[in-house]
Structure 1
Amino acid sequence: MSPRLSVVIPAFNNADYIAETVTSILEQGFADLELIIADHGSSDDTWGVLHRWSDDDRVTLLRTPAGGGAHANWKRVSDAATGEYLRLVPGDDVLFPGTLEQHVAALDAAPGAVLASSPRSLVDASTKTLISRRGADWGGRVVPGSEAVRATVRAGTNVFGEPFCVTFRRDAFVAAGGWDDSFPYLIDQASYCRVLATGDVVGVPSLAGGFRLSTTQWSVALAAEQSRQARGWHAAAARAWPTVVRPRDRRLGDLRARFAAQTRRLAYVVLKRRMTAAAAGSSS
């Protein structure tokens, strides 16, 4: 029989963090799951670390050939999933206790919902909390998919959170076409919305886990490209769902996307200083 839940990890150069990520999933206490991990040609010891779980019946280890970007590995692990529900967890993030059971229970109780979503914390390299709560809190409500799509466009940012914050009904995810990498920096947000065209989102107020910030996220050029792709996706969403994303929604979202890029850059500068100071303090 297929498990209720497939948790999938697209790993790439995560040797420093992947053990914590895997442990945070397997120690949830949710028994009816499979964990599928694919290493995407890592140049560090990610594959070696993963072999700690090679004898665990819950765990399947795969290798994805190099190339194809993040989409190739996200697709690889997701295509291998067999569960009723699907949750993707990047190889450096961590889940908080109880979140798997909470998302499954929320989807079980809301048959019209195609995904569950939770807020999260932002953490540093040592999993110390930097920002305690971030992301939309749907208050445990079932929100119509059209309302949720409009909300994320108008916000100019991903209100659902990173992939580990979301659990899909796998059949709805597959029917919607899987991961949409038309705008690579918005692969998660764009995919959520494509699935939400077929159903609703149910909010789970408890924190999903910790999103790990790293120094690769400080680039001005990266922030500008994220803003550009967000505006491109707003245009695509308006074409796909003209009665949901209206011209005024798109204009507001474009404005906020530009503003979000600037505030994100400033926030990263502040957080980088805090992380650097904390690292210096721990090494002294």
Structure 2
Amino acid sequence: MSTRVSVVVPAYNNAAFLRETLLSVLAQTYTDFELVVADHASVDDTPQILAEFAHDPRVRLLSTPAGGGAERNWNRVTQAATGELVKLVCGDDLLRPTALEHQVAAFDAHPDAVMVCSPRDMIDATGKVIVRRRGLGGLSGRVDGRTAVRTAVRQGANLFGEPCCVLLRRSTLAEVGGWHGDPGYMIDQATYSRVLLRGDLVTTPHTEAAFRFSDTQWSVELAGQQSASIAHLHRELQRIAPESVSAADVRRGNLMASLRTAQRRVFYLAFGRRMRSAATPPAGRAPAR
């Protein structure tokens, strides 16, 4: 029999943090889950760390050939999942022990919803919290999926958070074609939006995950590319869901995204040293926004 939840980890050169990530998954208070990890041709000690978990019956270890970027490995590991619900956790992020318990309960309370998300903490390379309870942008309880997509566009931000704080209905994720890597810096929000165009979002109030910052995600050099990706996503959502996302929503969202880009530059100047203290910078994921 398949498990209820699949936690999938697309690993790539995550040796500095991967052990802690996997242990946080295996420490869940909710026990009906499998853990699937795909190593994307890492050249650090990631394979050796994964070997430590090979004998745990809850764990399946896969490999993904080099090439294809984050999209290839995210889809590779997700397509191997067997659970009704799927959570992707990048190889340097953390789950709080009750993450699956609370988010599965939200699905049980709303069995026709397609996605559950929760606030998360932002941590530095050493695991210290930089920002507490970030996310959701005012979304609360059960929210019409199209309303949630429009709200995120208008705020110019990924209100739903990184995959570690999101639980998806696997069948709906498959229906929209899996993880979408176009635009490249928006693989998470681009995919969530397509899922939410098919059903409702449920939020939970608990902080269920920790997302780790790195300088590779927040460098000033990447800011322009990230802003361009956000604008691209907004235009694409207007194209595929014009009844939900208007041209005015896109204009407002692009302006808000530009303001957030300026805020990121200030953030990086303040916390850049803490992001650079990692022995190995995180990889195998789309840079954060």
Q: 1:203: Cα distance to partner? A: 0.3
Looking at structure 2, the residues matched to 181 and 218 of structure 1 have their Cα atoms a distance apart, in angstroms, of 19
- Is contact 1:138–1:205 with CA below 8 Å preserved after alignment? no
Gaps of 5+ in 2: 280-289
C-alpha contact 2:89 2:163 (8 A) present in aligned 1:
yes
Alignment of 1:94-243 (within 5 A): 94-136=94-136, 141-243=141-243
Contact 1:145 1:201 survives alignment (8 Å): yes
Q: Relative to 1, partners in 2 of residues 1:72 and 1:130: Cα closer, same or farther, differing over 3 Å? A: same
Out of 134-143 and 186-195, give the one that drifted further.
Answer: 134-143
Contact 2:87 2:168 in 1 (8 A): yes
More contact order relative to length (CA 8 Å, sep ≥ 6): 2
Partner Cα distance (2:73, 2:217) in 1: 20
Q: Separation in 2 of the partners of 1:134 and 1:113?
A: 22
Residue identity in the other structure for 2:228: R
Stretches (4+) displaced over 4 A = 137-140, 273-277
Structure 1, unmatched stretches of 5+, are: 280-284
Counterparts in 2 of 1:272 and 1:56: CA distance versus 1, 3 Å: same
Match of 1:282 in 2: none
User: How well do the aligned residues superpose, as a CA RMSD in angstroms?
Assistant: 1.7
| 1:272 to partner: Cα distance | 1.6
Cα offset, 1:128, TM superposition? 0.6
Q: CA deviation at 1:273?
A: 4.3
Letter matched to residue 22 of structure 1 = L
Residue aligning to 1:59? 59
8 Å Cα contact 2:35-2:59 kept in structure 1? yes
For 1:215-272, what per-residue CA distance to the aligned partner results, in whole angstroms no more than 9, with x for missing partners?
A: 2123222111110010011111111111100111111001011111111121121112
Closer, same or farther: CA 258–35 of 1 in aligned 2, 3 Å: same
Partner secondary structure for residue 61 of structure 1:
strand
Normalising by structure 1, report the TM-score.
Answer: 0.95
Q: Is the 8 A contact 2:125 2:276 kept in 1?
A: no
Structure 1, residues 115-155: CA drift from partner, whole Å, max 9, x if none?
00011111011111011121116665110001100011001
For the 8 Å contact 2:215–2:275, the answer to whether it is kept is no
What do residues 78-101 of structure 1 show as CA deviations (whole Å, max 9, x unaligned)? 000000100000000001120111
Deviations 1:149-199 (A, max 9, x none): 001100111000001110001111111111111101000001001001110
Q: After TM superposition, give the deviation of residue 106 of structure 1 in Å.
A: 0.2
Aligned partners of 1:218, 1:159: CA distance in 2, in Å? Answer: 18
Q: Matched residues, percent identical?
A: 49
Q: Report the equivalent of 1:73.
A: 73
The answer to whether the Cα contact below 8 Å between 1:139 and 1:204 also exists between their aligned partners in 2 is no
Contact 1:119 1:137 in 2 (8 A): no
Instruction: Report what 1:6 is aligned to.
Output: 6
Distance 1:111 1:188 in 2: 23
TM-score norm. by structure 2 comes to 0.93
For 1:157 and 1:137, the matched residues in 2 are separated by 9
Q: Corresponding residue for 2:287?
A: none
Q: Secondary structure at the match of 2:211?
A: strand
Alignment-derived partner of residue 284 in structure 2: none
More helix by share: 1
